[in-house]
Structure 1
């Protein structure tokens, strides 16, 4: 959103990029979006990617199982939850991949 005021003032894209310490390509994309949709078009839509497939009730169950520790779920070699282990636990308990 810091780029919108300079857009309104007619500041050149390379100057905005230098000031914000971003690439000129990004500023050109923002400028194009701003021209077509205004300030609201540049507003963040939150993180990208897929939404969580586990509802609140299942997320609570998963948190409980994670709190039980790794040994309770068959990992005795070390006690560090990794993304791969959490993914495996979700697959075992919820039959989701």
Structure 2
């Protein structure tokens, strides 16, 4: 938002977080129309929200580490190599 207020160009803004100029244009339009509320993240629309017990279980499983879950090494990535 500060960058919009300073008048930075969409191209300059898009270069830093590596997003498209089109996304920055959309954010700027939402900022003009609705202010800060227009550009605040609403989260991923496709993600379901976990319950407290589910979050606790996830934390336990993450603590156990990737090897226990069949991964070839200790790296936790979305693109890791499985056995």
Q: Which has the larger helix fraction?
A: 1
Interval of TM-score (by shorter of Structure 1 and Structure 2): 0.5 to 0.7
Gaps of 5+ in 1: 64-97
Distance 2:46 2:18 in 1: 26
Higher RCO structure, 1 or 2 (CA under 8 Å, sep 6+): 1
Distance 2:48 2:17 in 1: 30
- State the superposition RMSD in angstroms: 2.3
Moved over 6 A (4+): none
Q: Provide TM-score, normalisation by structure 1.
A: 0.46
> What number of residue pairs does the alignment pair up?
54
Structure of higher CA gyration radius: 1
Q: Provide TM-score, normalisation by structure 2.
A: 0.52
Gaps of 5+ in 2: 58-83
- Correspondent of 1:10 among 3, 7, 12: 7
